A and B are shown apart, each in its own frame.
Chain A
Amino acid sequence: MVIRIFGGRIVDPANGRDEIGDLWIQEDRIIAPPEAGKSADAPAQEFDASGMVVLAGGIDIHSHIAGTNVNTARLLLPEHAAGGTSPVPVGELIGRLYAAMGFSLVVEPAISPHVALQAQCELAGIPFIDKAILSALGNDDFCLRLVRAGEETALVDYIGRTLSATRGLGVKTINPGGAAAFREHATAFSLDDEVPRYGVSSRAIMKALQRATKTLGVPHPLHLHCNNLGLPGNVETALATIAAAEGERLHLAHLQFYAYGKEGPRQFSSAAARLAEAVNAAPNITADVGQVMFGQTVTISLDTIRQFNALGAAHPRKFAIIEAEGQGGGIVPYKYRRTNFYNVVQWAAGLELFLLIRDPWRVFFTTDHPNGAPFTAYPDLFALLMDRDLRAQWIAELPKDAMEMTTLPAITREYDWPEIAVMTRAAPARLLGLADRGHLGPGARADIAIYRPGPDKAAMFRNAALVFKDGVLIMRDGVPLRSHFGKALYAKTVFDPAIVRRLAAYYETSFGVSHEAFDVVPEALEALALRSSPPARSGGARETPNPFEEVPCLG
């Protein structure tokens, strides 16, 4: 079936397009407009997008939406489950609310390989959107041994095998070595600290994983959660980490949480301006912001040192610290308050990063859901970026002493539509290596979000006027029109199977179980029968659609 969307402003920076025009869809793909006079190609359906803005589907590269830690957060906070306002919404709501905002792909960025099956099962139950996991390595014994021994080739194969077994799209490392150091009683861990009993520094682990990810050809560069998250003065860590990348590609997660200086009467200030300059000067660096927004949330992180140190600030006062082989995690509820000096500095620092990092191809739109704020705060955040008057209103109502510790009040930049389209569509698709997403050129997947501009920008982003996923109109003004399930994307890696024999022996000795016990096999998701019954084929045999989609590695 051919669909034509006409009269809208098509903002497609990946293809250099920003004009009033038509968009043609056939099946699940965008196609070139048919040549005039070809009646065979007359559209079966037409949508009037006059006065609206047409973008590719949004991509969120860092949002904790699945897995045992997210689910434990739900179980920890039953008092927030009712009424649909939980900082950790249930799967159905995650899919619906993201899709309503025009997002079509969300990456869950912190899945320890041993719990990948649970994460993939939960992701398979999230409707409307595509999704992916990043596999968390760098605190697991096997990895640390390889780094210590300098076995870089084996590390490449180990990562290749892990991404293949867990169906991971990329590699995440979280305070590399920090969780391993926590096991040995460390409560602080920085870039050049060594992991007790292993004698390798965080820097060495990060560098080894960065090189191995590149060698393997994984499109997404190493996704790094730096050391010293949340601590005053930690901008020095972030700056040192940027320097440590030595010109090679590196993605820094939730950079806002590292944008702190020690200035001012409370020895806590925003150092975002300095950090943004460093990012501007380092074209190999990409970063997502991890914006803080005010309200109740719950922090979910595999950085057990950080979460252990945060227990005193828990609100409500309860927590889970989970220590696991590979990596566990910490779940600590927290409330960001408009009246709290530190929280306000954090809020401002995030916006400074958005506004002072000049290249929208290298800064990504996240709240580190739910760590900085639930993703449901995105509409307000879009509005703050696109409207300096709105920012000024917020600033006027926030504590002046906090605002004096930032440069935010002086910043006049407003994001325009092409910049929004780059930051939330074109750039993340490129970062993740997805050639057919993030743009509206012929051949692209027909994931399309159409917004109706109005004075209330947040309302515009909360419920896109029309949302297409895989060429199907799934939402109109935030109302779902039909059931639809996307795919889980993973990197198709090639590795030397010799690593498998080695892992088999290691697992037998260390854990007394098979190294394959944790693998994500497609049959597992079929066994879950999470979807509504698939249509019977003409032969009558039921066929479950493949829940996965391969992303090729670089040659």
Chain B
Amino acid sequence: MPEALLGGEAALRAEAIAAAAKALAASRNPVIAGLMTDMAGAIAALALARATGAALDHAYAGWILRDLDVLRSFGGFLTTPLQTRALADCVLLVGETVPDFAPSPPTLAPERTRTVLRLAGAGLGVRLGVLRAVLAGRNIAADAALHALAESLRAARFGVAVFSAGELDALALEMLAGLIADLNAKTRFFGLPMAAPGNAVGVMHALAAKTGYPVRIGFARGEAEHDPWRFDAARMAESGETDLVLWIGESLPEWAKRVRLIALVPEGVTLKPMPEVVMFAGKPGIDHAAVLYDAELGTLAFRRGAGISPSIAEILQSITKSVQAW
């Protein structure tokens, strides 16, 4: 198993790191994308972006930012997966992709029963809007199903709406956040967002603690700037705005064929098209120790890992050192 590939041929990791550093140092407008890595990897990627004036994007930035845009323009009542299990007597599953939830009584309020409901189908944003209007007592044409749903939500003592910004559009997310806020005038109701894959929540927190911003950050002007449109790696690749992408993840995105590419991927992954430089790293938390967002716990957690492979962070740190030497 090679450590790295140069032009598709087996190479030493050090050679690949040097080649990656040379390409990044020469790039006019590089992007570090994918960013499916642990906290250490995110921090190391941030340092490399600072050193090269690169932009930082995450494969699931769209998902993360749809959640965040509601929060930072309106607000949110949010809860955790464990508290939902422990206390929710009403669970509203919004959309098709949210998994079923056991109707067993809440573990810390076992004297209560748990109602599990699902609202899905076409036009979810509008239906949530109508539901919100029904709950607000507005005189609006709504079907019996929505009226029944409204009654169940009103009856909740501790309700939770589980949803995924990977599925819901901006309107649906905003309507849901508003609906939850309205319900809190009389009861307690919270949203439980499904976590985006690829440690997107962890990466967002790692970057925010160090820059104040989530993903889609650029360092082209030296200081961190956040712009969800400008630093969208797909857009930058499609438009030819970037001349080099360092992809951290597994399979390559569809737009990879339109840009010069360096990849940092787990061992054994086959890539198409073949990037100029490929470096193989361990899977965080499996091959090496890592701190990752744990969607079951709803917080960061430590995974010890086997301690056998270099981490993405270590490779990125080596690239940064090499860039700084250029």
Residues on A close to B: CB < 8 A? Answer: 66, 68, 71, 74-78, 80-82, 86, 88-92, 114-115, 117-118, 121-122, 125, 141, 182-185, 197, 308, 311, 314, 317-325, 328, 509-513, 517-519, 521, 523-524, 526-530, 533
Q: Is the interface of B mostly helix, strand, loop or mixed?
A: mixed
Query: Is B294 positioned at the interface, with any CB of A under 8 Å from its CB?
Result: yes
State whether A141 and B108 are in contact (beta carbons under 8 Å apart), knowing that A71-B209, A511-B85 are contacts in the complex: yes
**B 194-225 contacts with A by CB, 8 A:** 204-205, 208-214, 223-225
Among residues of B, the one whose C-beta sits closest to the C-beta of A117 is B300
Q: Is the CB of A323 within 8 A of B77?
A: yes
Chain B 263-297 residues near chain A, CB threshold 8 A: 288-291, 294, 296-297
- B interface residues (Cβ-Cβ under 8 A, vs A): 38-40, 43-44, 68, 71-80, 82-83, 85-87, 107-109, 157-158, 184, 187-188, 190, 204-205, 208-214, 223-226, 288-291, 294, 296-302, 304, 313-314, 317
The docked-state distance in angstroms from the alpha carbon of A183 to that of B86 is: 12
How many angstroms between the C-alpha atoms of A117 and B299 in the bound complex?
Answer: 9
On whether the beta carbons of B76 and A321 are closer than 8 Å, the reply is yes
Q: Apart from A78-B72, A88-B212, what 5 extra A-B contacts exist at CB < 8 Å?
A: A71-B209, A76-B72, A183-B188, A319-B76, A528-B40
**Chain A residues, CB < 8 A from B86:** 141, 325, 510-511
Complex contact B39–A121 (CB within 8 A): yes
Does B297 contact A518, Cβ atoms closer than 8 Å? yes
Contact flag A529-B291 (CB < 8 Å), given A118-B300, A185-B188:
no
Looking at the assembled complex, report how far the CB atom of B203 sits from the nearest CB atom of chain A, in whole angstroms: 12
Contact A117 B291 (CB under 8 A): yes
Asked if B79 contacts A75 (CB within 8 A), the reply is no
Cβ contact within 8 Å between A75 and B68: yes
CA distance A160 to B109 in the complex (A): 27
Q: Kindly provide the distance from the CB of A115 to the nearest chain B CB, expressed in whole angstroms.
A: 5
Q: Can you list 10 A-B contacts (CB < 8 A)?
A: A68-B299, A78-B214, A90-B210, A117-B291, A121-B291, A183-B188, A321-B184, A324-B82, A513-B82, A517-B297
Q: A530 to B209, alpha carbons, bound, how many Å?
A: 12
Q: Which residue of B lies closest to A522 (CB)?
A: B302
A527 to B108, alpha carbons, bound, how many Å?
34
Name the A residues within 8 Å of B223 (CB-CB). Answer: 82
Q: Which residues of the other chain, A, contact B296 by a CB distance below 8 angstroms?
A: 513
A74–B247 CA distance with the chains assembled, in angstroms: 27
**Are A74 and B209 within 8 A (Cβ)?**
yes
Q: A115-B299, A184-B157, A185-B187 are in contact. Are A78 and B226 (CB under 8 A)?
A: yes
Which chain B residue shows the least CB distance to A112? B299
B299 touches which one: A77, A118, A318 (CB < 8 A)?
A118
Residues of chain A lying within 8 A (CB to CB) of residue B204: 75
Instruction: Please name all residues of chain B whose beta carbon is closer than 8 Å to the beta carbon of A185 when the two chains form the complex.
Output: 157, 187-188
A90–B223 Cα distance when bound, in Å, is 13
Let me know if A512 and B85 touch, CB within 8 A. Answer: yes
* Contact of A524 with B107 in the complex, beta carbons under 8 Å: no
A81 near B71 with CB under 8 A, answer no
Q: How far does the alpha carbon of A519 sit from the alpha carbon of B301 in the complex, in Å?
A: 8
Given known contacts A182-B188, A523-B289, is B300 in contact with A81 (CB within 8 Å)?
Answer: no
Which interface residue of B40, B108, B213, B300 has the most chain A CB atoms within 10 A?
A: B300
Docked-complex contact A324 and B211, CB < 8 angstroms: no
Tell me which residues across on chain A come within 8 A of B188, comparing CB atoms. 182-185, 323
